[in-house]
Amino acid sequence: MLDFVQQLVSGIALGCVYGLIALGFVLVYKATEVVNFAQGDLMMLGGFFAFTFISLLGFNYWLGFIAAVAAMAMFGMLAERLVVRPILGYPQFSIIMATIGLGFFLRSVAGMIWGTDDLKIETPFSHGVLRLGSLVLAYDKLSVIAATIILCGVLYLFFNKTTLGTAMRASSENMLAAYYMGIPVKRVVSIVWAISAAVATCAGVLLAPITFVHSNVGLVLGLKAFPAAVLGGFGSIPGAVVGGVLIGVIESMAGFYLPQGWKDVAPYLVLLAVLLLKPEGIFGIHTRKKV
């Protein structure tokens, strides 16, 4: 039973990281109907920025965290302005290829600047455990879960209780109608990309105590986060987080209880099963029409 609880907590912690990356997929898609396949690489770059501020420049952990988030928010706006906006209106395939190309570019630049070695960020939660009788839970995993809950709460309040959040929701529902109502749609889209990059950076920094940061970590985790977004219902913000947690828990349990090799396969089998039964995802809206 203790092993089960520990694997459950580990899976939830890893799933929270998947969920935050998936959240970036969903935010960009809701605002622009663009699937940003560079989302995982934005997380990777945010992790490297945090490593630079905290480990190389000696910033306080929290100050370095904030600096990395702010830097990546500006980078997200820049990426949207230079890469995505010029080709909006072109076929979706063109935009998808542009984001894939952006991902390759970011991985290459990160490898040239920070190298290809695995790097780790020391955090206030890197060491220490919480003991509940015979149960031992690491602070680093609990901190990821707590931070994800807080971040989701902040995003909920932002999107539902602020004027800018309301403008973003209006733009995501109908961009043309929002434009006619006087909402600066282009600026809103840039801010959505900034938020998406900032959320990805939070995922990268929270991931640091659990695993290492390297130039390919974004590609690996992005391939797990995209199915999480699909599983939750592409376009659903709560679904992205729930889908991420489900993928993380399934992966953790399969790695512990099933033979070697099932860890990477099991989440995709569950994804296929869910999509066969509910193609729109867990929280997706059913839109299939009868012929």
- Tell me which residue of 191, 21, 185 sits closest to 88, measured CA to CA: 185
Q: Is 129 helix (H, G, I), strand (E, B) or coil?
A: strand
* Residue 119 φ/ψ, nearest 5 degrees: -120, 150
- Torsion angle defined by CA atoms of residues 25, 26, 32 and 35, in that order, rounded to the nearest 10 degrees: 40
pLDDT of residue 31: 74
Sequence-ordered list of residues with C-beta below 8 angstroms from that of 71, at least 6 positions apart, any chain: 49
Extract the residue ranges of the chain whose pLDDT is less than 70.
284-291
Any domain includes 208: yes
Any domain includes 257: no
- Provide the CA 273 distance to its chain's centre, in angstroms: 23
Any domain includes 289: no
pLDDT of residue 291: 38
pLDDT of residue 257: 85
Burial readout 53-84 (b: 16 or more C-beta within 10 A, e: otherwise): bbbeeebebeebbebbbebbbebbbebbeebb
Q: Are 47 and 204 in contact (CB under 8 A)?
A: yes
Any domain includes 283: no
Per the DSSP assignment, residues forming a β-bridge with 211 are none
Q: Are 39 and 278 in contact (CB under 8 A)?
A: no
Any domain includes 2: no
pLDDT of residue 289: 42
pLDDT of residue 262: 83
Give the whole-angstrom CA distance, residue 16 versus residue 149.
9
Any domain includes 199: yes
pTM: 0.86
Q: Is 130 helix (H, G, I), strand (E, B) or coil?
A: strand
pLDDT of residue 285: 58
Any domain includes 237: no
Give the whole-angstrom CA distance, residue 50 versus residue 20.
17
Q: Are 256 and 3 in contact (CB under 8 A)?
A: yes
- Provide the CA 227 distance to its chain's centre, in angstroms: 12
Element (H, E) at 136: strand 135-138
Task: Domain of residue 81: give its range.
Answer: 16-220
Helices of type H across the chain: 2-32, 39-51, 61-79, 92-114, 139-161, 163-173, 175-180, 185-207, 217-232, 237-257, 262-277
Give the whole-angstrom CA distance, residue 64 versus residue 57.
9
Any domain includes 265: no
